[in-house]
Structure 1
C-alpha cells in the first residue's frame, strides 16, 4: 500500500493519546497510574493485584472503565474525572504538527477512548484545537470504547463520514481492525525508533495484521510526506 492511496481521502481521524503526541512524553502513563489507584481503592486490592485486574479488564473490554461498569456496577463520572485529572505540562506547542494537519484536505477529527475534556486539554497544549471539526470521546460513544464496531458506526453517522474516503491514525493495532474492514486507510503510530521493529513483526504475521497498511514512528513526517499528492 503506497502513500498515493490517500489521494481520495478527505476525512482524517486521529486517536489522541500516544498518537497526536509522542509516547515518550509519558502523559498517558499518568492516567495509567491513576487507573490502578482507582481500582485499588475501589475493590480493596494490593497494588499488584489491582494492576493485574486493570489490565485484564482493559484487554477483555477495551477499557478498564467498561470492565468496572460491567463487573462492579460503578458510575463512570467519578472515574473519568479522577483518571484524567493529570499534569499536561509535559506537552509543548507543536506548530509543525499543526501545520501538517491544517494542510490536509477536508475535515479532521479526534476519536478517543478518553474524555472530550482531556482531548481538549491536549489539543490546546499542542496548539492544534482549531484544526478539528469534532472531538468524539468516550461519553459521546455512550461509554462503549474502541474497538467495538458500534462505536465506529456511531462516530461515522454523527459526522456524516464515508469510510471509503477516510483515514485513521492509531497507536493500538486492534483499534484499526474495524476501520480497515470498513475500507479506511489505516496508519499505526509506534514509539520513536521502533518503526522497523514493528513493521517486521506485523509483516511476519500477514493474516492477523492485514488491516495495518502503514506504520510510522513520526506522525508529522508521515503527514508531510503525503502533501505532494495534494498540491
Structure 2
C-alpha cells in the first residue's frame, strides 16, 4: 500500500469528512470478467444498433472514453441517438450473470458498517446495475443513497444541463458539484473513492479529498492510494468508529463466507441534508436519491 510522504487524507488540520462518496465498478469490488463483458457488449451495441463499422469500434470506444468520460457520453455528443434504457439493458442486465460473476463480501460489509459517516454510491452505470451489484455483494443497506445514471441525468436537467444532447458523467466536475449540493455539503466535506485517477483529479481540483482504489501509485489529484477498500482499517483507521466490527478477510474453498444482510428492499426518498433532522430532510432540486430500507 502506498500513502506517499505527505500527510494522510485526515491529517491534523483537515476538517472531518461529512460524506463518503464511493464508485461502484472496480472500486467497491473488482471482477475482471464484468469489465471485459461490458466492454465487449458496448462494442457489439455500436455495431449492431448504431451501424458503426466493426473495424472502427475499438478506436472509437477509446477515443470517446478519453474525451467524454464514457463511450455513451461520447456517442451522444457526436450525434448518435440512443435509447438509454435499451443501452443499459444490452450492456449490463442483458449480459451479466451477477450470481456467477460476483460473491458476497462480508468483510467489506463489516468495514462499511463500522464507519459512522453517511456513505453514497456514485456510478456512471444505471440504477438496475447498481442495485444488482450491491445486492449480490450483500452491501446494499450499507449506503444512505445511490447516485446513478438516471437520477444524475434528472438532477442535471433540473439545473439546466442539456440532457437531450449530452450525458453528465464522471469526470465532468459538474457532477461532483451537483451531488454535493444535493447532499447539502461542501466539496471539501467529501472523501471520494474511485479506481480512476482521472475521475479523482477533477474532484480533487474542486477541494475534495480523493482515494485511488486498486492502484498503489500516487498521482496528481490523488491524496491516498490503496489496493482495495479492505485496506481502509489500516490506511484510514480514523474513519472507523466501531473497529471491533471488522473481521479478517478470509475465504473458504475460494468463496468468501456468507454474511446475513438486512432487507435488500429499496425505495426513492428525497435526499437528506447532512446533519438535518428526519422531518427536515428535503431535496433542494426535488431529485430522488435511491436509499436502502433500514
TM-score of the pair, normalised by structure 2 = 0.68
- SS of residue paired to 1:215: strand
Q: CA deviation at 1:44?
A: 2.9
Q: CA deviation at 1:36?
A: 0.7
Q: CA deviation at 1:228?
A: 4.9
Larger radius of gyration: 2
Q: Give the one of 101, 107, 121 matched to 1:90.
A: 101
Check if 1:27 corresponds to 2:38.
Answer: no
Q: CA deviation at 1:105?
A: 2.2
- SS of residue paired to 2:97: coil
Q: Which moved more, 1:77-86 or 1:113-122?
A: 77-86
Give the equivalent residue in structure 2 for 1:50: 57
> 1:92-148: CA deviations, max 9, x gaps?
110110111111122000000101211111111111111111110112221411111
Separation in structure 2 between the aligned mates of residue 227 and residue 7 of structure 1, nearest angstrom: 16
Give the equivalent residue in structure 2 for 1:36: 43
Q: Give the one of 14, 19, 26 matched to 2:22.
A: 14
Separation in structure 1 between the aligned mates of residue 173 and residue 228 of structure 2, nearest angstrom: 27
Check if 1:2 corresponds to 2:8.
Answer: yes
Separation in structure 2 between the aligned mates of residue 123 and residue 148 of structure 1, nearest angstrom: 25
Give the equivalent residue in structure 1 for 2:237: 227
Q: CA deviation at 1:70?
A: 2.3
Q: CA deviation at 1:11?
A: 0.8
Check if 1:66 corresponds to 2:76.
Answer: no
Preserved CA contact (<8 Å) 2:125 2:149: yes
Gaps (5+ residues) in structure 1? 203-208
Give the equivalent residue in structure 2 for 1:144: 168
Q: CA deviation at 1:9?
A: 1.6
Q: How many residues align?
A: 216
Q: Against the structure 1 CA distance between its residues 58 and 225, is the aligned structure 2 distance closer, same or farther, given a 3 Å change threshold?
A: closer
- SS of residue paired to 1:21: coil
Give the equivalent residue in structure 1 for 2:113: 102
TM-score of the pair, normalised by structure 1 = 0.85
Preserved CA contact (<8 Å) 2:204 2:222: yes
Preserved CA contact (<8 Å) 2:9 2:223: no
More helix by share: 1
Preserved CA contact (<8 Å) 1:147 1:174: yes
Q: Which moved more, 1:141-150 or 1:91-100?
A: 141-150
Q: Give the one of 161, 178, 183 matched to 1:154.
A: 178
Preserved CA contact (<8 Å) 1:104 1:227: no
Separation in structure 2 between the aligned mates of residue 228 and residue 107 of structure 1, nearest angstrom: 15
Give the equivalent residue in structure 1 for 2:89: 81
Check if 1:112 corresponds to 2:136.
Answer: no
Separation in structure 2 between the aligned mates of residue 123 and residue 70 of structure 1, nearest angstrom: 30
- SS of residue paired to 1:92: coil
Separation in structure 2 between the aligned mates of residue 60 and residue 43 of structure 1, nearest angstrom: 20
- SS of residue paired to 1:182: coil
Q: Against the structure 1 CA distance between its residues 81 and 170, is the aligned structure 2 distance closer, same or farther, given a 3 Å change threshold?
A: same
Q: CA deviation at 1:20?
A: 0.3
